[in-house]
Structure 1
Amino acid sequence: MLKEFKRHIDQNFPFLRGNSILLACSGGLDSVTLAYLCKQLDFRITLAHCNFNLRGEESNGDEAFVRNLAADLRAGIEVKSFDVTEYIKIHVGSVQMAARELRYKWFNELLESGRFGYLLTAHHADDALETFLINLSRGTGIDGLSGILAQNGKIIRPLLPFSRIHIGSYAQVERLEWREDSSNLETKYLRNKIRHDVVPGMKKMHPAFLDSFIRTQNHLKDSVRLLEGIVTETRKRIFVEQEDRCSIAIAELEKLEPLEGYLYALFNAYGFSEWDDVKGLLSALSGKEVRSRTHRLVKDREHLILTKIKDRGEDKVTLIKDLANLSVPIPLKFETVKTHQKTNANVIFVDKEKLNYPLLLRKWQKGDYFYPFGMRGKKKLSKYFKDEKIDVVSKENQWLLCSGDDIVWVVGRRPDERYRVDDDTQNILKISLLV
């Protein structure tokens, strides 16, 4: 196996040589074997062990074993102790999910420290098969069926081509010692049930089942790469990037066939999962939206608008009477000037004496109205936004500079006629939006 492992590294991960490597080590067969293989290739490794304190003395025994293993291999050692039970109380979820989140959060912290170039984990071919069957049982797209990635950024899984039997045979020949996790025998966990009850039956019916699965999954990975190319080109064509958002023409989406497949491929990366709701947006009224944990998709007339969900912060900011310049939430500059020029979207001139202090900077609200500069009479902001074809997201983010209950400026768009400079103006205030 050492020769095969070396060939695999040389062909696919030659950059690991000479790097400082973090190796996730539970003390079990797979990670211990990986540690020995890496040491045989003279990798500079540091073992990273998580003690989840879920099995009492057995957990502590695992930690002691990994510490001794690091000493035997003359490798570095990093150990972290976790309180999984307390974590679940705060974040909710299963023990397995909590342990995974805690483990990878710590691994990423170690990688971000700059001391290590890559993290190696001991996932192998049987793990990939079990993950495939788990995802299949839950319902998934082609991404979920194409398997565990051999490399995901700085995380590398160099044992994926090797089976559990292959790894176990090598360990026995080399007389390696490892720890057995008693919880791996409990079939109350889905993965263990698949490992102990489902997979053996499949292998019994078809002895070459694992090899056939590996070939099938390689075909699926090729299909994913082909699909990614098509989706990337489609996204480039119909996703219009605009500062903090993407605008997607609904008419262009509706031309795609099969529509449901394209919607999944285009929006899955943004965390959406309620696909009936996403499809429903195409024919919904303006203002309807669907949210994932990280993004929102809003219907706006003939478009869908994709934005990140972010903290809108304070909706009101009081400006002090001496009109000090403002940097947040938006940069505004106040200057008393002797003459005025033509007003534009980002610079206005107002009669300073007409203002009531303190001024107020706030988001727009339903029922707001103003007297648009250059026009007679008032106009509801909702009607102004509609006439100007301002999209839903832009309306939500629109700031208003107010004097009392009056709107002085729809910031970055249009000032109010009532505060314009006229022949009777004594003091002129220039207000600039710094963009």
Structure 2
Amino acid sequence: MQMKMEDRVLKTIGDYNLISKGDTIIIGASGGPDSQFLIYILEKLRKDLGFEMVLAHLNHLHRKEAANDENLVKSTAEKLGLDFYSRSRSMDDLAKKLKISPEDAGRRLRYEFFNDLAKTYPASKIAVAHNKNDQAETVLMRIIRGTGLDGLRAMDYKTANIIRPILDIKKSQILAYLDEEKIPYAIDYTNFENEYTRNKLRLDIIPRLEEINPSVIDSIFKLSDLARDDFTILDRLVDEKIKEMVKISQGKVIFDKEKFENMDPALLRRVLRKAIGLLQGEIKDISKENLDDFLKIRDLDNGKTLIKDKLVLKKTYKTYILEELTAKEKSKTELELGAEDEIKFDGIYLKTSIINNGKYNKDRNVGYFDYDKLDFPLKVRTRRPGDRFVPLGHQSEKKLKDFFIDQKIDREKRDELPLILSKDKIIWLASLRISDEFKVTARSKKILKIEVYYEN
């Protein structure tokens, strides 16, 4: 006998401990079929489980029909006797401002609103209406972009204060239930446009996959479940290794040097990734390539440092130390660069080589300098108050601050630009301007070539 829909959701809530007695559940209510389904299902369970519900609707100001969606959610709240909250923010304006996709902008605005509302309730959780089809689409998107085991997990039933009670229910089942119960819902017609990546998967790719395997949604969902199980086992192993080799003190993650150097790279990458999460509270924008770059420090001399954004990994005689730098601390950080060397400084690769004459590459990411005027090792750092240099074509020093203003360099870029120095003198604002003091002349016998590569 087939389980009733509300019993299926009740089982999911119990299996994953999604709702407790006394909770206030803030439902992200778009007015679409998924959120309407979630509202009505939870309403049927509310009294027995002893929780309260409120509806929260964000108007993205993206479609002409948006006001109708908001009115539908409001009328649903009135019909069920639930509190209703709304906010209007333009996802298109935010996307343009932050140079991100409208989808990403919309997601940020929604969760900002939901979390602001959650602060007003002492025991609150945010319920979102992601379903089995959404999960399959997320897994496919991550496979296409390149992912590992972590990414195959896709969405969890519970992430911090966010719960997904209908994650294992297919879209077709949701629509059938709504029709049977005569529950109204809005249709977002942008879901039928091929403009966005997810919609391309939904409308083009998945239907083709269903021609091969009609149960492809279920199969991909099972893949995410299996990945979650495997990740849980692996995560326990990583936690054990963290306990064995890591000490956290004064905002620093300190690794046992012997264990760090003898660990298998695949496991060490996961330990390092977990350590970054412990340090920053989240793991964001850390790729396998970033972790591989950090692991190269094992082959470097004691005292060496590797930097990625605000993260710095240092090698000492007894330990490896991972810490997060403030902007002020970061500006004080220096790396050394030899005459025939290659280093990475905050996502930027710097490579040096010696040439005797030459065909000069006019690429702005390549600089040429009179070798005999330089003192090695060179230093690489970001700007500091009082920095000055002699721009190419000038005869006297100029304040770096004034040079940036004259060149109309954005403030954010000024703090990221790597400076290369010989002793205390700037020889190059990498990729921007070399110093006249160290330029190649007809009398130059030996030339240092410095190349800059930016991380993708």
Give the TM-score category using the shorter length. Answer: 0.5 to 0.7
Compared with structure 1, are the counterparts of its residues 197 and 14 closer, same or farther at alpha carbon in structure 2 (3 Å cutoff)? Answer: closer
- Alignment partner of 1:291 out of 299, 308, 324: 308
The equivalent residue for 1:39 is 43
Give the conservation status (yes or no) of the 8 Å contact 2:255–2:320. yes
Deviation at 1:115, TM superposition (A): 5.0
**Which of 253, 262, 265 is residue 260 of structure 2 equivalent to?**
253
Q: CA deviation at 1:279?
A: 2.2
Name the aligned partner's letter for residue 53 of structure 1.
L
Q: Give, as a single letter, the amino acid of the residue that structure 2 aligns with 1:290.
A: I
The change in CA–CA distance for 1:108 and 1:297 in structure 2 (over 3 A counts) is farther
Deviates more, 1:1-10 or 1:141-150: 1-10
Check the 8 A contact 2:307/2:313 in 1, yes or no. Answer: yes
- Aligned position for 1:53: 61
Residues 157 and 163 in structure 2, CA contact (< 8 A), matched pair in contact too: yes
Q: 1:78 to 1:146 in 2, by over 3 A?
A: same
Q: Does 1:267 align with 2:267?
A: no
Aligned to 1:424: none
Offset, 1:36? 0.5
CA distance in 1, matches of 2:114, 2:144: 29
- Per-residue Cα deviation, 1:31-51 (whole angstroms, up to 9, x for no partner): 000001011123521111111
Partner of 1:333: none
Q: Does 1:211 align with 2:218?
A: yes
Q: In 2 relative to 1, CA 16–219 (structure 1 residues): closer, same or farther, beyond 3 Å?
A: same
In the alignment, the residues of structure 1 paired with residue 299 and residue 84 of structure 2 have an alpha-carbon distance, to the nearest angstrom, of: 57
User: How far did residue 17 of structure 1 move?
Assistant: 4.2
Deviation at 1:144, TM superposition (A): 0.6
Equivalent position of 1:308 in the other structure: 324
TM-score (norm 2): 0.64
Rate the CA distance shift 1:49–1:165 in 2: closer, same or farther, 3 A. Answer: same
Q: Tell me the amino acid that sits aligned with residue 217 of structure 1.
A: S
TM-score computed with the length of structure 1 as normaliser:
0.67
Check the 8 A contact 1:260/1:279 in 2, yes or no.
Answer: no
Equivalent pairs counted in the alignment come to 314
Once residues 124 and 16 of structure 1 are traced to their aligned partners in structure 2, the CA distance between those partners, rounded to angstroms, is 21
Cα deviation digits, residues 390-418 of structure 1 (max 9, x gap): xxxxxxxxxxxxxxxxxxxxxxxxxxxxx
Gaps of 5+ in 2: 278-282, 332-383, 385-456
SS in 1 for 2:299: coil
Q: Secondary structure at the match of 1:87?
A: helix
Distance apart, 1:163 and its partner CA: 0.8
Cα pair distance change 1:91/1:65, threshold 3 Å = same
Contact 1:250 1:282 in 2 (8 A): no
- Residue 300 of structure 1: CA displacement? 3.6
Aligned-residue offset at 1:14: 6.7
SS at match of 2:223: helix
**Using a 3 Å threshold, how does the CA distance of structure 1 residues 15 and 95 change in structure 2: closer, same or farther?**
closer
Q: Displacement, 1:220?
A: 1.3
Q: Which moved more, 1:84-93 or 1:138-147?
A: 84-93
Q: CA deviation at 1:292?
A: 4.1
Distance, in Å, in 2 between the alignment partners of 1:240 and 1:78 is 45
Give 1:90 deviation, angstroms. Answer: 3.5
SS at match of 2:165: coil
Give the secondary-structure state (helix, strand or coil) at the position aligned to 1:41.
helix
- TM-superposition CA deviations, 1:78-127 (whole Å, max 9, x none): 10111333323442211111111121122112112235511100011111
Q: CA RMSD in A?
A: 2.5
* 1:389-428 aligned within 5 A: none
Determine if the alignment matches structure 1 residue 277 to structure 2 residue 315.
no
C-alpha contact 1:277 1:290 (8 A) present in aligned 2: no
Cα pair distance change 1:252/1:115, threshold 3 Å: closer
Which amino acid is the alignment partner of residue 272 of structure 2?
Answer: L
Larger Rg: 1
Aligned to 2:251: 244
Q: Does the CA contact (< 8 Å) of 1:150 and 1:156 recur in 2?
A: yes
Aligned to 1:100: 107
2:142 and 2:151 in contact (8 A); partners too: yes
State the shift of 1:275 in Å: 2.8
